[in-house]
Structure 1
Amino acid sequence: MDIMEPPGRMAADTELTNALERINRTELALERTEQMLAENIALRKRMRSLVEAARLVKIEQHQ
């Protein structure tokens, strides 16, 4: 620490560094969440299509 540095400066720098790290981790978590949501939506659409196809096959078999 520089002798001319105001008191509390190191603590403020540490707090800022910690806050920036938390922001970065939060942004990464948000990106992962968005990716998982997109994957889940795509999977749901595929499953819905399969259910509809199975329903149509069942109807065809009963006719």
Structure 2
Amino acid sequence: MSKDSESPEQRREELRQKELNNPSSSVHGSNLADLVGGLGWKGTGVLIILMVVGGFIIAWFFR
């Protein structure tokens, strides 16, 4: 596949894989940006909502 016909997601994943192969590029190899980049905007919204609701449930439990 040529570079011109690659989608931005494919290009981003290729760069991420190259970065993961370089151990000096990151300490753990995975972070929130990788998670959010793979989910898209709908998945990110659902994740944020779940975190907020989970926070309210935990706060209510320890009240």
Q: Say which one has the larger Rg.
A: 1
Q: Identify whether the pair has TM-score above 0.5, normalized to the shorter chain.
A: no
Higher relative contact order, chain-length normalized (CA < 8 Å, sep 6+): 1
What is the TM-score when the length of structure 2 is the normalising length? 0.41
What is the TM-score when the length of structure 1 is the normalising length? 0.41
- Structure with more helix by fraction: 1
